[in-house]
Structure 1
Amino acid sequence: MIQARIGSGHDFLRLTTDVAENGPPESLLAELRLHGLSASVQVVHHYATGFADLAEFFQRHVDDWRGWDGVRTWESLEGDLRIDASHQYGHVQLRVTIQRFQPGWGNEGWTATGDLTIEPGEQLSQIAQELKALATGS
């Protein structure tokens, strides 16, 4: 099992996958845990990139640790996991949204959204390393 933990203390997004026999994982479990909130969803990878684009998304923040303008967004292929990142007050601010859609028509399913604050130095670098390991299955 490989996992990446994004956040601090009791507020975090944990991404977990079983080790794949033939390279990158086909899916991961996204668990959002905040004070008073716990939600999880299974996220399927994009057939061409797997989760490499998620690892690259966080590596880009490591490279730009001094800050950037606006909001950067990563979203899974089916929209069940979305991460919006901005650089504010010397920190990386993440808004994480996970969703579970039910088959059929109408308003069936749920959405959970929470905010996480990440330090742009060592903490962000550690997250990027964990995500790279998760994306490659090693």
Structure 2
Amino acid sequence: MTVRCKDSPSVDVRFCDRFSFDRDSVRYAVEVRAPGLTARVDEVVAWIWDSDLTTFLEELVADYQGWEGERNWHTLDRDLAVSAVFRSGGYIGLTWTLRPWRTAAGEWSASVTTWLEAGEQMSSLTSDVRHFLAGEQA
């Protein structure tokens, strides 16, 4: 599943390589790409009892008319974080940040921002993420 920026199609976020060892979690890789940047985290973990990315995106879709400030979400391990801002004209900017090995020497992070229409594009993204995390074909 790939999220492309409406303003700059060379900027994207790719969810791939989904797998699961048990009923409590889903693991997947996330890649961010922009001109001159490619970064990947191989094992992002989504726990079934945690507030997942789908819930965060659904809340953004519900507020398609906009909000003030920044909204944030992250995995329990904080290796994937997403911040959202609303821009006039009905666009949502999602900044996707990869930050693996936060407590290890050699820590790094990489971020890209994708701009999407607050209505249909955000609804489609939310549906795609839901299907990806559930292991279903969208």
TM over 0.5: yes
SS in structure 2 of the partner of residue 109 of structure 1: coil
Which residue of structure 2 lines up, in the alignment, with residue 85 of structure 1? 84
How far off its partner does 1:67 sit? 0.6
Once residues 18 and 120 of structure 1 are traced to their aligned partners in structure 2, the CA distance between those partners, rounded to angstroms, is: 27
How far off its partner does 1:121 sit? 1.9
How far off its partner does 1:19 sit? 5.7
Maintained 8 Å contact 1:20/1:137: no
Which residue of structure 1 lines up, in the alignment, with residue 44 of structure 2? 43
Unaligned runs of at least 5 residues, structure 2 = none
User: 2:127 aligned with 1:129, yes or no?
Assistant: yes
How far off its partner does 1:26 sit? 2.0
Which residue of structure 2 lines up, in the alignment, with residue 34 of structure 1? 34
How far off its partner does 1:22 sit? 6.7
How far off its partner does 1:23 sit? 6.1
Once residues 133 and 24 of structure 1 are traced to their aligned partners in structure 2, the CA distance between those partners, rounded to angstroms, is: 17
Which residue of structure 2 lines up, in the alignment, with residue 14 of structure 1? 14
How far off its partner does 1:47 sit? 5.5
Equivalent residues, number: 131
Once residues 108 and 88 of structure 1 are traced to their aligned partners in structure 2, the CA distance between those partners, rounded to angstroms, is: 35
* RMSD (Å), alpha carbons: 2.3
Maintained 8 Å contact 2:3/2:13: yes
SS in structure 1 of the partner of residue 128 of structure 2: helix
Give the TM-score normalised by structure 2: 0.81
Once residues 127 and 13 of structure 1 are traced to their aligned partners in structure 2, the CA distance between those partners, rounded to angstroms, is: 11
By relative contact order (CA 8 Å, sep 6+), the higher-ranking structure is 1
How far off its partner does 1:45 sit? 2.0
Once residues 70 and 131 of structure 1 are traced to their aligned partners in structure 2, the CA distance between those partners, rounded to angstroms, is: 24
Which residue of structure 1 lines up, in the alignment, with residue 72 of structure 2? 73
- Which one-letter code corresponds to 1:38 in the other structure? T
Measured at CA, do residues 128 and 114 of structure 1 come closer, stay the same or move farther in structure 2, by a change above 3 Å? Answer: same
Measured at CA, do residues 24 and 10 of structure 1 come closer, stay the same or move farther in structure 2, by a change above 3 Å? Answer: farther
Unaligned runs of at least 5 residues, structure 1 = none
Maintained 8 Å contact 1:45/1:76: yes
